[in-house]
Amino acid sequence: MNKDIWRKIATAIAGTALIAFGHVPVAAQSDGATPQSALELTINDGFEGKDAFHFDWPEIRVGTGQYEAGPTGATVIHFPKRAHVAMDARGGGPGTINSDYIALGYPAAELDAIVLAGGTFYGLETATAVNTALIDDRKRSGRWDNIGVVMGSIIYDMGGRRLNEIYPDKRLAQAALRAAKPGIFPRGAYGAGRSAIAGGMFGCNTNSGQGAAFRQIGDIKIAAFTVVNALGVITSRDGKVLGCYKNPGWPEELTPQHLLGASPASMDGDWNGTDMAAAEKRNTTISVIVTNRAMNPAELKRLAVQVHTSMARAIQPFATEYDGDVLYAVSTGEIESGPGTGLVTAEIGTIAGEVMWDAILSAVPEQSRHLTPQNEPKLTNDEIRTAIGAYRFGTDHSLRVWHDGGQIYAQSRGPHPVFAIAADTPTQLLSVGKGLFTVPGRYPFAIQFSKDQAVINPGRWAQIGKRTGG
């Protein structure tokens, strides 16, 4: 693969600017100086309302924890009566903990919980934290036959998609475990999926998140949970790309075949939607598939492989060098296996692949929209005074904002751009009204100023910068 193309892909992923309007969080500032212990923590956000997915399975408990100042979080899937597990890793860059224990194929590879988290490798702290909470709460002990076992996997949600280095930690994970409830899972930008995106390979950079689905056939139950942070695009059942910030000239009804068929040209931000070449057959999503039918290690491993393979229909391409795709297959063992006991493993795997596709589709939250600047804005003196100054978002990201000739300009003060605001040249901020500004481009972008802070992309994915001076 051409190195320049991959460099552009990495830049597109890092430079994603996402926006959704609504509540502006007032959590501790993500300025690189606020300790993790001082951050505002929300637990089980999304457990009510349209994003809450309900399913009937008391043996599965779910808890989520989030730092809104990130935003980032973790999702704990707890099995109070323990369960058996196998794992399949497909992506080129997986981040897991205790995976070797599963790979050894013991007859009883039991576990208490699986933790899915943001924060890249720093987020793996959440899995060990859930395990120590089990012994602290006396649910497990130090006896060799009663030691807690927790698995964990992470997604990359730092870099340019967030302007700070906040990560889900011990405090967050243990609170999520202790608040876990049966039969409910928030879908969209919650928990581990709080700052997930999809489609970075082609610059789509769609808001993504976590999803869930459930199906019951007779006594057999199947549940799927996933956090979609894929380099590839999410594909609907009718073969359309589900969400993409497209360049002008791209097909109106975009399909994965348009993108894959035009690669590597389609991986370049300047691709105009033509020059269809032969498809290059190259395909971080972390997932859990659960069944209540008892399975031995070989059956569970085969279930993991079959379902993980099926996910290449819903995410295209899948399991690339830059993905960290991992799937856990879990059996709660409530229904016996053997002749006359219902569906065989291959049949369960086939159904489970469809349930997982449903879960992936449900992970996509409401998408952001572009703002339209005013034709002839007349900035008030108060708007100008409020905007100008310097703002710090994180260790490597800060802005300088100034007024010149009746216009507002901004420039990144660090080595990296701040979303649509460049580091090497001034960027004009166009007024939308009432102290809100935008920078037109492929990705929605907004910045709003107040007395002591600047909020980039107010709403669900807000990034808050603290005023530091002029």
Name the residues annotated as catalytic.
284
Q: With beta carbons less than 8 A apart as the criterion, state whether 236 and 287 touch.
A: no
Instruction: Compute the distance between CA of residue 156 and CA of residue 197 in angstroms, rounded to an integer.
Output: 10
With a CB cutoff of 8 Å and minimum separation 6, the contacts of 33 are none
Beta-bridge partner residues of 89: 326
In contact, 163 and 30? CB cutoff 8 Å: yes
Please say whether the beta carbons of 325 and 319 come within 8 A: yes
Beta-strand pair 150-154/110-117:
parallel
Contacts of 344 (CB under 8 A, 6+ apart): none
Residue with tokens 């580091």: 423
Which residues, 6+ apart, have CB-to-CB distance to 442 below 8 Å? 203, 245, 246, 247, 269
DSSP readout, 384-433? HHHH-EEEEEETTEEEEEEEETTEEEEEESSSS-BTTB-SSS-EEEEEEE
What is the C-alpha separation between 466 and 147, in angstroms, rounded? 45
